Structure 1
Amino acid sequence: MSLITTDGLTMRQGGKTVLSNVDFSISKGEIVTILGPNGSGKSTLLRLLIGALRPSAGKVVRQKGLKIGYVPQKLHIDPTLPLAVSRFLQLPGRVAPAAAKAALQRVGATGFEDQQLASLSGGQFQRVLLARALLSQPDILVLDEATQGLDQPGSAAFYSLIEELRQELGCAVLMVSHELHVVMAASDRVLCLNGHVCCQGAPEHVASAPEYRALFGTGTHGALALYRHEHDHDHDHDGHHHHDGCDHDHAHTHDHSHQEGSV
């Protein structure tokens, strides 16, 4: 059963087409990661999926009564504003103190209730944002670059926590991330986006550290070529093959052990 499905989703902003004809779905319990270069429409797609934006064309269908827990990329809070964690967790609706305490405890932020948001480290703040997302008892957790600014051990610990929560709650997880070393291990499915869906499918573990390091110096080609695309398999729920012209040459990373048609 799909929690969210899109059909021909298109978004134009400022006279420019940001997303074109995106067909996507995510099912209960699934972890899906969206990859793509800067400006490829990743955050726009997330905002369309959760209903924060209205599409220019196409449609988004959400399961009736779907509860979404959203962890934004950044949340700008005036550092001079006195706002304790306990108060922040009450926005926008009241939450029982016991529920707030339990959520903080679950994300490894025990005893943070009286701390000021402005005094938290990046990792602590992300955990508080995650606790807030959990308070809605979500069917799907949506994370937009949620570990940006964290060091590698910090982000690995955060993704490990997300995996635990997925298993405990049975919720789906939809992530935008650049951290391929974690993403490849953690995701059930990877969607490659560059204004349109280039391809999607099961991820492969990033093979070696040199390749991972290389991606930082090779721009989007490195980032998008690090997982294997098996173009001879159906990757989506509709039976469509995704041969639709990703702008990047993946030929040197394809695994040709499966020839076309020899499934």
Structure 2
Amino acid sequence: MTEKEEFYNELAYTIYNKYLSDLFVPQDGSFKLLSTIRYDPKLTEIPPITPQDITKENFFLFGEHYHRLVFSLTYFRRQITKNNELEFDISQDFLFEKLTEAIKLSNKIVFEPMKIRLLVSLDGEVVVELHDTGYRANLLDGILETQFSDDQIWDVYIDREVTFISPFTSFKTTNRKVYDDARRRTLPGKRPGKEEVLLINGSEHLMEGSITNIAIRRKKDEKWITPQLSSGCLCGVMRHFLLRKNYIEEETIPLSALEINCEVLLFNGIMGVVRGRIVS
């Protein structure tokens, strides 16, 4: 091996161990696929009174969550187990039963909203966790052209360290190290629950937030635009909904487009759409 080959081999090894080893673990199936689902009694005309009254419509974007989960399972099983087939029941009815069963066993009050963490392993094991979440009168109010108070607008920061694109940014899993690291590096903690950090990929293009997808206004026509999936962003369920309803469009967004005091949309399947403002 020549001196130059040794140099580049050592460089590649250093880059992999410093930046990529936590992102690409081909043989490691210890992570779980994750969906955070909003249960909301107000999503149906007649709110549930008992767990038996709950319908799929009470789980916000249930269909989008289901289809993303099946696609993600298929992808990771092909990559890790080399098996394209799902050898277990993962139907919509099965997941609905798991969700309602968890609510029934928890003795939680069904006329209060909940944040549900649905964890699915690559062998089909399902775990459901229930958490309290805030009331939202209108899950789409962030996209309305109205006046927002400073208290309603989130503080949005830009992480200046590169985030490498990987399957763990494109798919939602329990492997959230890049997001946790970005939050730890960047968020000051001045407004807990109202702060978000934006991730930038190696091409200096906007990807997403640490817990949200994002859209900014396109200057030429004021249309809301969101990064393309090729940026490495999560294929979020709320993102998919807003694209399908033509509230937003996809576009490559360079870091230079993120200006201080620029208003943005932040969205996910729990809080819907809220407004944010880039502060740093």
Please classify the TM superposition score into its range, dividing by the shorter chain length: under 0.3
Q: Compute the TM-score of the two structures, normalised by the length of structure 2.
A: 0.24
Flag the structure with larger Rg. 2
